[in-house]
């Protein structure tokens, strides 16, 4: 059972472990461990595959950029792990743990970050994280259409914040002790 001492309301963000990492279980485990070590609560976790249409839709803001085609192909090249993560500063903390977008810069300027340590190239940079609260709402709905943000913030946030919660190795998620299947 995990006890956290949160002093402020929890914020949600959408995180991905990209196909380059899932192709190597050791890398996937290293990133997943980093999420747990930094006291994120894993509210949802699932493995999924994208088709190129999903990729194009999600990254439409980058269409026309020189790397767009390789990004679309890469992101639909294999399984990914998608998470809804909760923390007091979920968006900003996950962004800082990931490091700069471009791996070559991350290696030089941000060793110890996920992308600096584990990224392969600027496109194959191991992880994604929402870049704002607004992006997090949009991206959570994209990956978890059944998840109700309003319901979670109104009814569940206080329960996850005050706990107790436990980490379920099978689902790779944190659950409320009170809701543990009898
Ligand atoms: N501005 C600009 N940068 C480019 C272009 N092509 C590649 N780069 C950058 O040059 C670096 C290496 O690019 P590439 O060698 O094409 O990428 P890669 O190493 O094959 O890896 P991927 O990005 O996964 O394809 C990366 O930082 C890219 O962002 C381009 O046409 N314009
Ligand atoms: N200069 C680049 N060269 C190659 N791939 C890039 C480049 N810039 C961005 N990408 C790819 O597009 C994804 C989305 O870009 P962006 O939203 O700017 O970064 P971030 O993922 O850090 O929010 C990046 O994670 C990376 O996979
Ligand atoms: Mg982005």
Q: Catalytic residue numbers?
A: 128
Return the half-sphere exposure (C-beta side, CA atoms, 13 A cut-off) of residue 53: 0
Among 3-7, 9-13, 72-76, 81-85, the range scoring the smallest mean pLDDT is 3-7
Whole-angstrom Cα distance, residue 10 to residue 118? 28
- Asked if the model's pLDDT at residue 3 lies above 80, the reply is no
Residue 1 has pLDDT above 60, yes or no: no
pLDDT tens, position by position, 28-66: 999 999 999 999 999 999 999 999 999 999 999 999 999
Render pLDDT for 93-148 as a digit per residue (tens, 0 to 9): 999 999 999 999 999 999 999 999 999 999 999 999 999 999 999 999 999 999 99
Q: Which residues of 133-154 are buried (b: 16+ CB within 10 A; e: fewer)?
A: eebbeebbeebbeeeeeeebee
Using most ligand atoms within 8 A of CB, pick from 21, 101, 142 the residue to mutate for ligand 2: 101
Distance 174 CA to ligand 2 centre (A): 29
Beta-carbon contacts of 87 under 8 Å, excluding residues fewer than 6 positions away, are: 10, 11, 13, 38, 39, 40, 41, 93, 94
Which atom from ligand 1 is nearest to the alpha carbon of 102? 27
DSSP state of 2: B
Asked if pLDDT for residue 163 goes beyond 60, the answer is: yes
CA of 122 to the centre of ligand 1 (A): 7
What is each CA distance from 36 to 2, 24, 107, 122, in whole angstroms? Answer: 11, 19, 23, 25
Residue the block writes with tokens 């997090």: 136
Structure-token pair, residue 158: 């206080």
pTM: 0.95
**How many C-beta neighbours within 10 Å does residue 105 have?**
15
Distance 166 CA to ligand 3 centre (A): 31
- ipTM field: 0.93
pLDDT at res. 132? 98
Does residue 181 carry a pLDDT above 80?
no
Q: What's the confidence (pLDDT) of residue 5?
A: 80
Nearest CA to ligand 1 atom 9: 122
């Amino acid at each position: 059972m995990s006890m956290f001492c949160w002093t402020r309301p929890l914020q949600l963000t959408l995180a991905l472990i990209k196909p380059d990492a899932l192709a190597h279980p050791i890398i996937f485990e290293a990133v997943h461990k980093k999420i747990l070590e930094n006291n994120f609560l894993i509210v949802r976790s699932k493995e999924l595959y994208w088709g190129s249409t999903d990729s194009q839709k999600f990254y439409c803001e980058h269409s026309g950029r020189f790397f767009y085609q390789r990004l679309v192909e890469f992101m639909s090249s294999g399984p990914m792990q998608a998470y809804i993560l909760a923390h007091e500063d979920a968006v900003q903390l996950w962004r800082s743990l990931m490091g700069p977008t471009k791996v070559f810069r991350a290696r030089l300027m941000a060793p110890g970050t996920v992308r600096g340590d584990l990224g392969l190239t600027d496109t194959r940079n191991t992880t994604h994280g929402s870049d704002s609260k607004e992006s997090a709402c949009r991206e959570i709905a994209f990956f978890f259409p059944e998840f109700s943000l309003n319901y979670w913030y109104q009814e569940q946030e206080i329960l996850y914040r005050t706990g107790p919660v436990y980490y379920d190795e099978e689902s790779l998620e944190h659950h409320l002790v009170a809701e543990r299947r009898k």
